[in-house]
């Protein structure tokens, strides 16, 4: 049961809101945990089992580390839990273990959605506790909620333990928060159902053509669609998650800050999947670059950790190439930071570099991605064909909508308008807008009941 489904919006969500708000305040955490357990169990009992195992292993490890802080002994539970976490992501995200899994009775199509985010959270907490940066949690219920809190389960923000606890303790639940929550939720839903799903169709149409016959324009259209679709899927799901958390009074941070069409790669990188990138900086780049003070070494580590991030996205070599490319481009950019670029030139150059990178993120094999890249550069000696014009004709509206929605133009317009009438009018009509988008998304979901395309199995 994914957030963008009728069962969730008109079934699970109202039931959970009802149950949450009729429970007395001091028991609300338990209600949330119970709801999360049901949410996991509805995916599959195996999922619930995995989450429980995850909680118990990491919680116990943290407790033992905490008791033996400063002693060499604490390395044992640390290593054990780390191996468990890493093993579980490897087992489910690579295809080498499918035989083993099905031999113990795991259903064939079972994939613990969100395992990649979960592993990052759990590993981060483990490292922090081991290094003594946070105190270990003594309440297992709370820790369990951190692991399987259902609004952040699928693609929600990767939070450090302290951040989650702060959000939990500073909870302000009520109608006001719920209004904000619904607004964010519907925004995410619209991103997913209206924009991402349709743009994915464009990418699929381009992808169904043999790469050797692809015209340059079609190839560019296809990769632009994939790029935007990926952004809208990831940010859509995290918006939906954040919105639901708000409904329960938990203020979780945003994951994206309008990264598309930035004027520099650096800006793109600082606005894209912020918590995840922050995680990699904190737990990969920093520790590794502390070994040497050499500038070249640090640059190398910087690029490599971007490669690791890319690999985390796809668990394929191609994903790592995406990361390496962006990392290298950023290093080069920093070196040339004195060269001044006009806004629009910067946007175009950033767009082109990221589009090149996205080719690798989208591709399954390196050779296929290289071929696609060649097609984009006009290597097939066809600039545009009937397919490109057909796609332009059919998709220009949704492409333009997607491009506009992925920029911060609208938000900036509202911000700049200050206390003027525009802002007042907008806040007056906002309930109507939210309701309209809810109806529209419900209509678009009405035939199949859910929109489960997630591009990357994270």
Partner 1 sequence: MKDKMNKVTAVIMLGFIFVFSGFMLFGEKKKASESENRKLAELPEISISSLNDGSFSQKLGEYVTDHFPARERLTALDARIEAQLSESIVNGVYVGNDMLLDIGTSEKGDMEKSAEEINKCSAAYKGAAYFVCVPTSAGVYGDTLPPYIEKNSESRQIASLYSTLGTDIRKIDAYNILKMLNDSYIFYRSDSKWTSYGAYCVYRTVIQKLGFSPTAYDKYTIDHVEDDFRGNLYHRSRYSGVKADIMDIYRCADGAGVLSCTGRDERGNVFSRSLYDRSKLDSSYKYDMYLGEPLPLVKIRTKVNNDRKLLVVTDRFGACFIPFLTQHYSEIAVVMPSEMSGSVRKMIEPDKYEQTLFLFGIDSMTDSSIFERLN
Q: How far is CA 373 from CA 158, 182, 190, 356, in A?
A: 32, 41, 31, 7
Q: What contacts 141, CB < 8 A, 6 or more positions away?
A: 29, 30, 33
d(CA 369, CA 117): 26
In the shown chain, the binding pattern of residues 294 to 313 toward partner 1, with x for contact by CB under 8 A and - for none, equals --------------------
Query: Using the rule CB under 8 A, is 98 a contact of partner 1?
Result: no
Greatest extent of the chain over all pairs of C-alpha atoms, in Å: 70
Q: Which is nearer to partner 1, 331 or 450 (CB)?
A: 450
Q: What contacts 87, CB < 8 A, 6 or more positions away?
A: none
Query: Using the rule CB under 8 A, is 153 a contact of partner 1?
Result: no
Tokens of 399: 């492409």
**Among 51, 120, 155, 178, which residue interacts with partner 1 (rule: CB under 8 A)?**
178
Residue 378 contacts residue 216 (beta carbons within 8 Å): yes
Q: Which stretch binds partner 1 (CB under 8 A): 135-143, 226-234, 319-327, 444-452?
A: 444-452
Q: To the nearest whole angstrom, how small is the minimum distance from the Cβ of residue 358 to partner 1?
A: 20
Q: Which residues pair with 5 in a beta bridge?
A: 450
Q: Which of 232, 228, 309 is nearest to 261 (CA)?
A: 228
Q: Which stretch binds partner 1 (CB under 8 A): 59-67, 95-103, 347-355, 446-454?
A: 446-454
Residue 385 contacts residue 215 (beta carbons within 8 Å): yes
Complete DSSP assignment for 215-236: -HHHHHHHHHHHHHHHHHHHHH
Query: Using the rule CB under 8 A, is 407 a contact of partner 1?
Result: no
Q: Which stretch binds partner 1 (CB under 8 A): 23-31, 42-50, 55-63, 325-333?
A: 42-50
By CB under 8 A, the count of residues binding partner 1 is 65
Tokens of 77: 């539970």
d(CA 32, CA 27): 9
Q: To the nearest whole angstrom, how small is the minimum distance from the Cβ of residue 98 to partner 1?
A: 15
Q: Which is nearer to partner 1, 53 or 435 (CB)?
A: 435
**Among 31, 34, 37, 41, which residue interacts with partner 1 (rule: CB under 8 A)?**
41
Query: Using the rule CB under 8 A, is 224 a contact of partner 1?
Result: no
Query: Using the rule CB under 8 A, is 378 a contact of partner 1?
Result: no
Query: Using the rule CB under 8 A, is 103 a contact of partner 1?
Result: no
Query: Residue 132 gets which letter from DSSP?
Result: T
Residue 1 contacts residue 447 (beta carbons within 8 Å): no
Query: Using the rule CB under 8 A, is 52 a contact of partner 1?
Result: no
The SS3 of residue 70 is: coil
Q: To the nearest whole angstrom, how small is the minimum distance from the Cβ of residue 340 to partner 1?
A: 39
The half-sphere exposure of 301 on its side-chain side, counting CA atoms within 13 A, is 19
Query: Using the rule CB under 8 A, is 7 a contact of partner 1?
Result: yes
Q: To the nearest whole angstrom, how small is the minimum distance from the Cβ of residue 393 to partner 1?
A: 9
**Among 53, 397, 413, 425, which residue interacts with partner 1 (rule: CB under 8 A)?**
397
Q: Which is nearer to partner 1, 140 or 435 (CB)?
A: 435
Complete DSSP assignment for 72-88: GGGHHHHHHHHHHHHHH
**Among 373, 434, 454, 458, which residue interacts with partner 1 (rule: CB under 8 A)?**
434
Q: Which stretch binds partner 1 (CB under 8 A): 90-98, 228-236, 300-308, 394-402?
A: 394-402
Q: To the nearest whole angstrom, how small is the minimum distance from the Cβ of residue 325 to partner 1?
A: 28
Angle at CA of residue 431, ends 428 and 435, nearest 5° = 150
List contacts with partner 1 (CB under 8 A).
1, 5-7, 9-11, 13-14, 17, 41-47, 107, 109-110, 175-183, 186, 194, 198-199, 201-202, 205-206, 208-209, 385-387, 390-391, 394-395, 397-398, 424, 427-428, 430-431, 434-435, 438, 440, 442-444, 446-450
């Amino acid at each position: 049961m994914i957030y963008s489904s009728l069962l969730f919006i008109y079934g699970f969500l109202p039931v959970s809101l009802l149950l949450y708000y009729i429970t007395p305040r001091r028991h609300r955490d338990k209600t949330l945990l119970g709801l999360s357990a049901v949410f996991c169990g509805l995916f599959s009992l195996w999922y619930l089992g995995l989450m429980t195992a995850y909680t118990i292993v990491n919680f116990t490890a943290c407790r033992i580390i905490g008791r033996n802080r400063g002693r060499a002994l604490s390395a044992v539970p640390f290593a054990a839990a780390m191996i468990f976490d890493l093993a579980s992501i490897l087992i489910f995200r690579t295809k080498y273990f499918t035989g083993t899994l099905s031999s113990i009775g795991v259903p064939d199509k079972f994939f613990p959605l969100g395992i990649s985010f979960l592993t990052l959270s759990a590993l981060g907490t483990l490292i922090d506790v081991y290094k003594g940066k946070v105190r270990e949690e003594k309440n297992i219920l709370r820790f369990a909620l951190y692991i399987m809190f259902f609004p952040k389960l699928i693609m929600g923000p990767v939070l450090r333990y302290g951040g989650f606890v702060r959000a939990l303790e500073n909870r302000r639940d009520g109608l006001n928060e719920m209004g904000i929550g619904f607004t964010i939720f519907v925004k995410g839903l619209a991103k997913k159902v209206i924009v991402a799903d349709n743009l994915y169709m464009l990418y699929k149409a381009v992808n169904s053509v043999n790469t050797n016959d692809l015209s340059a324009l079609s190839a560019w259209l296809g990769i632009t669609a994939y790029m935007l679709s990926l952004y809208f899927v990831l940010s859509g799901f995290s918006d939906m998650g954040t919105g639901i958390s708000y409904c329960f009074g938990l203020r979780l941070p945003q994951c994206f800050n309008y990264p598309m069409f930035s004027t520099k790669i650096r800006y793109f990188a600082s606005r894209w999947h912020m918590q995840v990138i922050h995680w990699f900086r904190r737990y990969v780049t920093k520790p590794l670059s502390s070994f040497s003070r050499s500038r070249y070494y640090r640059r190398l580590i910087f690029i490599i950790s971007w490669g690791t991030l890319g690999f985390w996205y796809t668990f394929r070599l191609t994903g790592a190439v995406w990361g390496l490319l962006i990392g290298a481009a950023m290093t080069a950019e920093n070196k040339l930071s004195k060269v001044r670029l006009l806004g629009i030139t910067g946007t175009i150059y950033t767009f082109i570099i990221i589009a090149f990178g996205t080719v690798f993120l989208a591709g399954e094999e390196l050779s296929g991605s290289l071929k696609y890249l060649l097609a984009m550069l006009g290597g097939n000696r066809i600039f545009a064909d009937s397919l490109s014009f057909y796609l332009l004709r059919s998709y220009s509206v949704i492409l333009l909508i997607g491009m506009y929605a992925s920029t911060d133009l609208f938000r900036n317009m509202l911000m700049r308008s200050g206390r003027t009438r525009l802002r007042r009018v907008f806040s007056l009509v906002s309930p109507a807008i939210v309701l309209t988008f809810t109806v529209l998304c419900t209509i678009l979901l009405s035939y199949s009941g859910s929109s489960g395309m997630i591009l990357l199995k994270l």
